[in-house]
Structure 1
Amino acid sequence: MKISIHSDFKLNGKSFSTVELIGEANYLVKQGTFFEKGIGHFLLEWLNDEENIFLQTSGSTGIPKKIYVSKSAMEASAKATGEFFNLKPGNTALLCLSAEYIAGKMMLVRAMVLGLSLDYVEPNSNPLDGNTSNYDFLALVPLQVAASIPFLNRIKYLIIGGAKLNVQLIQQLEDVSTAIYETYGMTETVSHIALKRLGEPYFTLLPSIEISLDNRGCLVIHAPSLHTEPIVTNDIVDLVSANQFKLKGRVDNIINSGGIKIYPEALEEQLSAFISRRFFFTSEPNAILGEQLILIIEGDAFEVPASFFAKFSKFQLPKKIYFISDFVETPTKKINRALTKALLKR
Structure 2
Amino acid sequence: MELLPIHTPEGFDPLDLLKPLAAALAGEGPAVAPHALPDQVFEGTLPNDEIAAVISTSGSTGTPKQTMLSVDALAASASGTAFALRAEGQWLLTLPVHYVAGFQVLVRSLFAGTQPWVMDRSDGFTTKAFTDAAAELTDRVRFTSLVPTQLHRLLADPSPETLRLLRRFDRILLGGAPAGAALRALARSHDLKVVETYGMSETCGGCVYDGTPLDGVELRSVDGRLRIGGAVLADGYLGAPALTEERFAFNSGQRWFVTDDAGDVALDGSVTVHGRLDDVIITGALKVSATRVADVIEALPGVGQAMVLGVRSEEWGTAVAAAIVGDVDADVIRQAVHVELGAHAVPKVIVTLDAFPLLPGGKPDRRTIHSLLEHA
TM-score, with structure 2 as normaliser: 0.72
Q: How many Å separate the matches in 1 of 2:78 and 2:225?
A: 26
Q: What does residue 293 of structure 1 align with?
A: 320
Offset at 1:234? 0.8
- 1:77-122 per-residue CA deviation (whole Å, 9 max, x = no partner) reads 101101111214xx33322222222111111111111223433332
1:129 aligns with 2:136: no
Cα distance change of structure 1 residues 154 and 277 upon mapping to structure 2, 3 Å threshold: closer
1:281 aligns with 2:295: no
Q: What does residue 211 of structure 1 align with?
A: 219
- 1:153-176 per-residue CA deviation (whole Å, 9 max, x = no partner) reads 211122112232233322222244
Q: Which amino acid aligns with 1:244?
A: S
Q: How many Å separate the matches in 2 of 1:324 and 1:117?
A: 38
Q: What does residue 252 of structure 2 align with?
A: none
RCO higher in structure (CA 8 A, sep ≥6): 2
Q: How many Å separate the matches in 2 of 1:172 and 1:327?
A: 19
Q: Which amino acid aligns with 1:249?
A: G
Consecutive unaligned residues in structure 1, runs of 5 or more: 2-25, 197-202
Residue of 225, 228, 231 corresponding to 1:224: 231
Residue of 189, 203, 209 corresponding to 1:195: 209
Q: What does residue 266 of structure 1 align with?
A: 292
Q: How many Å separate the matches in 2 of 1:60 and 1:341?
A: 12
Q: Is the 8 A contact 2:280 2:289 kept in 1?
A: yes
Q: Is the 8 A contact 2:54 2:69 kept in 1?
A: yes
Q: How many Å separate the matches in 1 of 2:353 and 2:144?
A: 33
Offset at 1:246? 0.9
Q: What does residue 143 of structure 1 align with?
A: 149
Q: Is the 8 A contact 1:96 1:104 kept in 2?
A: yes
Cα distance change of structure 1 residues 33 and 270 upon mapping to structure 2, 3 Å threshold: closer
Q: How many Å separate the matches in 2 of 1:140 and 1:296?
A: 22
Q: What does residue 41 of structure 2 align with?
A: none
Q: How many Å separate the matches in 1 of 2:261 and 2:59?
A: 12
Cα distance change of structure 1 residues 187 and 180 upon mapping to structure 2, 3 Å threshold: same
3-state secondary structure, aligned to 2:272:
strand
Q: Is the 8 A contact 1:209 1:223 kept in 2?
A: yes
Offset at 1:321? 2.3
Cα distance change of structure 1 residues 78 and 224 upon mapping to structure 2, 3 Å threshold: closer
Q: What does residue 87 of structure 1 align with?
A: 87
Q: How many Å separate the matches in 2 of 1:125 and 1:144?
A: 8
Offset at 1:62? 6.1
Cα distance change of structure 1 residues 92 and 209 upon mapping to structure 2, 3 Å threshold: same
The percent identity for this pair of structures is 24
Q: How many Å separate the matches in 1 of 2:177 and 2:79?
A: 24
Consecutive unaligned residues in structure 2, runs of 5 or more: 31-49, 155-161, 236-254
Kindly tell me the number of residue pairs found equivalent between the two proteins. 309
Q: How many Å separate the matches in 1 of 2:260 and 2:115?
A: 36
Q: Which amino acid aligns with 2:179?
A: L
Q: What does residue 34 of structure 1 align with?
A: 11
Matches within 5 A, 1:1-346: 34-36=11-13, 38-41=14-17, 43-48=19-24, 49-50=29-30, 51-52=50-51, 53-59=53-59, 63-88=63-88, 91-123=89-121, 124-126=125-127, 127-130=129-132, 131=135, 133=137, 135-146=141-152, 147=154, 148-196=162-210, 203-215=211-223, 217-227=224-234, 229-274=255-300, 275-287=302-314, 289-297=316-324, 303-305=330-332, 306-309=334-337, 310-323=339-352, 327-343=356-372, 344-345=374-375
Considering only aligned residues, what root-mean-square deviation do their CA atoms show, in Å? 3.1
Q: How many Å separate the matches in 2 of 1:324 and 1:170?
A: 21
Q: How many Å separate the matches in 1 of 2:143 and 2:192?
A: 10
Offset at 1:299? 8.3
Q: What does residue 7 of structure 1 align with?
A: none
Cα distance change of structure 1 residues 165 and 311 upon mapping to structure 2, 3 Å threshold: same
Q: Which amino acid aligns with 1:338?
A: R
Cα distance change of structure 1 residues 176 and 278 upon mapping to structure 2, 3 Å threshold: closer
Q: What does residue 241 of structure 2 align with?
A: none
- 1:5-28 per-residue CA deviation (whole Å, 9 max, x = no partner) reads xxxxxxxxxxxxxxxxxxxxx9xx
3-state secondary structure, aligned to 1:232:
strand
3-state secondary structure, aligned to 1:334:
coil
